Every structure is written in structure tokens, then in C-alpha cells.
A = this chain, B = another copy of it.
Amino acid sequence: MEPSMKEKIMKHSIRLFESKGFSEASIQDIVNTLGVTKGTFYYYFSSKEELLTQIQLNYIDYMLEEQQRIIEQPDRTWKDKLSEVILMTIQAIEDRGSSARIFFRELLHITGDSLDLIKKKRDQFRLNVQSIIEQGMESGEFRDDLPAEMVAFSILGACNWCYTWFKPDGSKSDTEVAAVYTEMFLNGLKL
């Protein structure tokens, strides 16, 4: 299926926001890259801020859906689910790395209810990881002498940081990076 005009505007804006910055990229720049008029832009978005909000909601909704799919699988250990969430987070970089990088850079341009909604969804993603860890602690798969909240922050932090350096076409694949990270988090570095 052909992408809709709305999808095209979002896709081209992501590239433009990443290369030029949100403040520097004007609506005129966006419509110029697509060969359409400002009228077309305003048919879909009331402002550049609304476009940025939509880009971020698209990204976080995709991440939450994928995570939910992993969590709901029957007959999997909590260790397996944690390891799949780690892999999913790193795999998303190829398709959605730009959205993630824009998010952290341009967060201060999203305000009010939009910001609250995006923050709530991002918190939900983290709390779901925390819940995997808590349930793994209860089931006896994971040690329960560490605070699950901090463990979730450390794992998600390491994975999210991949957005700053991981190159999908580099010497390590997303699967290899995820395997090393999972092994580190589960069994540690000490001999």
C-alpha cells in the first residue's frame, strides 16, 4: 500500500528534523521536500508542534504494541521475555532510530497535554520492563535483593543509549549486541 500524504509528511519531517533540528526546519522546508503546498500540511497538522507530537506518539505506540505482544506470549520464562524486549528495543533502531533521537533532542518543543501523554506512554514502557523483572523475582528466576525499578532503569538505559552509537550497517548486528547485553544483565561480568 502506498503511504498516505500524512505518512509522507511525517517521514520526510523526521529526516529533516534529524539533520537540521526542529527549530531550524520550517514548514516551508517540509513542504518543499515533498513538492506540496503549505495548505496540504495544514490539512493534516495544525502546527509543527502537532506534527512532532504525532511522530513521537507513532514511535512510542509501536514500541508499546511490540512489548505487549512479547509479554503476552504463553509458555515463556521471564528471562526469555526480558531478552526479547532487549532485542526488540535494539532492533527498532534501524527503522525508528531517527524518531528516538529526535524525541530526546526536541522534547522541550512539546508541551502541555501532548507532553503529558507522551511521557505517560514512555513511563508505561519502562514500568512494563520493571514488571517483567518483578515477576521474574517472584517466580525465582531473578535474584530479589536488587530494587526492580533501578534494574529496569539500568537495562533500558543501556538499550536506549544504543541509539547514540549503533549503526545497523556496522560490524555488529542488532542480534549480536542484544545477545551480549542480555548475557551481561543476566550473568554479569565477574568471573
**Chain A 162-178 near chain B by CB (<8 Å), digits 1 or 0:** 10110000001000010
Instruction: Assess whether A46 is interfacial by the CB under 8 Å rule.
Output: no
Q: Which residues of B contact A177 (CB under 8 A)?
A: 150
Interface pick from A6-14, A29-37, A61-69, A137-145: A137-145
Which chain B residue lies CB-closest to A154?
B158
Distance in angstroms from A118 CB to nearest chain B CB is 14
Query: Are B142 and A189 within 8 A (Cβ)?
Result: yes
Q: Which residues of B contact A141 (CB under 8 A)?
A: 190-191
Query: Are B180 and A143 within 8 A (Cβ)?
Result: no
Distance in angstroms from A135 CB to nearest chain B CB is 13
Which chain B residue lies CB-closest to A105?
B105
Number of interface residues of A (CB under 8 A): 46
Tell me, in angstroms, the Cα distance from A83 to B19 when the chains sit together: 37
Instruction: Assess whether A109 is interfacial by the CB under 8 Å rule.
Output: yes
Q: Which residues of B contact A153 (CB under 8 A)?
A: 158, 161-162, 165
Distance in angstroms from A180 CB to nearest chain B CB is 4
Instruction: Assess whether A184 is interfacial by the CB under 8 Å rule.
Output: yes
Query: Are A180 and B150 within 8 A (Cβ)?
Result: yes
Tell me, in angstroms, the Cα distance from A144 to B167 when the chains sit together: 24
Q: Which of B106, B146, B180, B183 contacts A184 (CB 8 A)?
A: B146
Interface positions of A (Cβ within 8 A of B): 19-21, 23-24, 79, 104-106, 108-109, 133, 136, 140-143, 146-147, 150-151, 153-162, 164-165, 172, 177, 180-181, 183-191
